[in-house]
Amino acid sequence: MKGPPWPLGFVSFLLFAIPILGVSVPRRTSNNRKSTIQMIGYSPTKTDDYVAVQMQAEAGYIVGFEPIAHADRVHHMLLYGCEVAYSQEQFWTGMATCGSGPSHILYAWARNAPNLNLPPGVAFNIGHEDSSIKVLVLQIHYAQPFVGNVMDYSGVTLHMNDEQPIFLAAVMLFVAGYPIPPKMQQFQSNMSCKYDHETDMHPFAFRTHTHAMGRVVSGYFKHGNEWTKIGKRNPQWPQLFEKIDHPLKIQKGDMLAATCRFDSSNMTETTPMGHMGTNEMCNFYMMFYWEATKPDPFPYGAVCGGNEQPELFGTEYPKEGFELLPPRPELEHTALQSGRPFGIIEEAKIQKIGDITLGQISGLAFDQQKNLFIFHRGSRVWDGSTFDASNHLQDKKPIAEPTLLMTRFDGNTPVLVEALGGNQFYLPHGVFVDVDGYIYTTDVGAHTVTKWKKNGKKLDLVWRFGEEFVPGSDHGHLCKPTGVTKNGDRIFISDGYCNARVVELTADGKYKAQFGAPGTGEGQFQLPHDLVLSPKKTLLVADRQNGRVQELNMEGLVQSVVSSSLFTNIYSSDSFEDTIFMVPGENSYNRFTQDEIPISVYGSRLGTGLLEFAFSPTSERFGRPHVLRVSPDGNHIFIGDISEKGATLWKFRIQHDSSTESHTLSGATYYEKASAAYGAIKNKASTAPLTLTFFLLLGVVAGGIYVWMKKGRRRANPQNAFDRKGFKRLNQEDTVAFFTSDSESD
């Protein structure tokens, strides 16, 4: 395929580079495995910030992609397969992705697209001797800087196996780079090229992309004298890959063509093509497969650039391809891009509520009226003399002052509703309020869990489990129990500092069952310090000294585990929708450099086991976070800090685009629908279409045209200096070995 000479200015904006930190996490189950490439703790410093990270391509076949990102933070992600990466560094800044040699678009994500599962028998070939993909490069585009001290860990998990598929997959990019004159209601930007390869292509999905002026994009191919539509879509709708619901075959000699219709009526100046929001783009993407036994038709990357036969568009190109589609207001609304930056903003640091000075804050809970219950220790401090060697409490006098504060917030100011619990607790730890308003507490000093009924300004005992001041590990005793939660009539207790177990009670406070044991394996614990119920009705246990959160079902079977080399302890966790928030209670240190790693709150997608983002205060560091809870509406995060400098209740506000839909289609559901859609692939001649709800956004052009230029002209990458302003680069070894102390006194 040929293309006309490209203006240097148009190409140059595509050939620049960006730094960050990524990690590969291989996982194997028989022939199937996962490998993850992701950023580590990057915070964009400017509008339209691009970053890239590389890793070696493990030999195998990609059959699915699992995004680790959210549209609140990330504009889009692009995964490239390269023979050589742009830089020898593992991370860099700018738009460049691949270096000399072939470059392939493998995957792209945006707008909370679900997992992508390729059809049965179709896969991307990477890492093998016969594959030109030796390196994977993940490029991420951040539309604007975050608000607050937020770090991003977005990435992609590859689902792979070793079974050679019947079909191999690729993506072809059609791209036009002609500037758009102003004051034109209809301006067409056209692309065409002849397919010259012996191997037949079978398109099974397409995607369109422009910026604000695009009105319709279409793609066709011509075989003999007959034109066949590949796809047509309004680029102002969600820019997903849309399925092609009938078999297509492109053969040698066929003409490929695509066109973008723009409306520049409101413009006063010519609009250039480019990657900035004020520029325009004209892209048509065709996802296709070919028989694996045949030669790769595009070993250097599949790009149709330029316009080999411009006369086709005036005489032959189907008229339908230029015509506007009927309006779809609901789609246009969904696709609107928000200008509001993502952030987690520190709003308040509270050490006193009314006349009450907060003691060590051990527990937090919300009731159905959104009141926040703060469980604190008043004047009592847990230290090395609080218990004897047999875990017996030394001072058996109850704490005189109110330890359970029922509060509501007037803006960022807490208002005391009731002060409860005076002379009723010995060493508070966990608290939970059920839908009927009953309050459940754990007392590590008394070794008990108690159900209370609020009666005016006092707490009336309903029942108590455990023998007061008598630690134990049998069916009638607890030992320093930490957390409590409820699912229906089932009550669960994390027990605790001495016992590495979760105990289940009946609704009337009788022992029913238990699970867990000391250790580091799945389902084992080293100090289960907190537990909450997730939206999936699974238990999230903060396995403190194992430095992880374990998600378990009601019978104790592990569903997922979240851990990271960035921390070695997790004190507390909570969740909202599909995000788990977790916080360490102690600093970690790099084992090699001894550099301290300040405490942050980490966010993970429920069920993935991988970090997505982190945040920390802007005014000062955390002291010793002990408990974390998310407000019922998901807009605020509260953290109880037991710092020696003074107990503090932190309040953070999550700022995000409220119009951006959450992950309403789960990965599991998507896989089922994708598999059903691909059930029609039964032989080499059939094509089953896929609806991929993900965007291939503006950055694709950078890689695509770059490859096209290199193939046609062998033009070298410019050796531009990296812009590292505002970025503290980490070495890979800085993320793999941390340690903390094992203090129990909290």
Binding region: 75-76, 141, 209, 211, 281
Residues 6+ apart with CB under 8 A from 332: 234, 236, 237
Cβ(558)–Cβ(525) below 8 Å: no
HSE-up (13 A, CA, CB side) for residue 432: 22
Measure the CA–CA gap between 482 and 432, rounded to whole angstroms: 11
User: Of 34, 28, 44, whose CA–CA distance to 65 is shortest?
Assistant: 34
Q: Fill in the DSSP letter of residue 321.
A: G
Residues paired with 228 in a beta bridge: 221
Measure the CA–CA gap between 699 and 74, rounded to whole angstroms: 13
Measure the CA–CA gap between 360 and 377, rounded to whole angstroms: 5
Measure the CA–CA gap between 662 and 510, rounded to whole angstroms: 39
Measure the CA–CA gap between 228 and 141, rounded to whole angstroms: 35
HSE-up (13 A, CA, CB side) for residue 123: 22
Both structure tokens of 156 = 């992609």
Both structure tokens of 672 = 């089922």
User: How many Cβ atoms sit within 10 Å of the Cβ of residue 417?
Assistant: 15
Q: Fill in the DSSP letter of residue 354.
A: T
Segment holding 204, helix H or strand E: strand 202-209
Both structure tokens of 16 = 């620049």
- Binding-site positions for Cu(2+) read 75-76, 141, 209, 211, 281
At position 495, the amino acid (one-letter code) is D
> What's the Rg (C-alpha) of the chain?
29
Residues paired with 520 in a beta bridge: none
Both structure tokens of 386 = 């609080």
Q: What single string gives the DSSP state of each residue in 39-69?
A: --SB---STTEEEEEEEE--SEEEEEEEEE-
Strands 511-515 and 528-533: unpaired
Measure the CA–CA gap between 254 and 265, rounded to whole angstroms: 35
Going from the C-alpha of 311 to that of each of 125, 192, 195, 227, the distances in angstroms are 37, 10, 17, 15
Segment holding 713, helix H or strand E: helix 700-713
User: How far is residue 406 CA from its own chain's centroid?
Assistant: 34
Measure the CA–CA gap between 498 and 496, rounded to whole angstroms: 6
For the chain, the straight-line distance linking the first and the last C-alpha, in angstroms and rounded, comes to 69
At position 734, the amino acid (one-letter code) is D
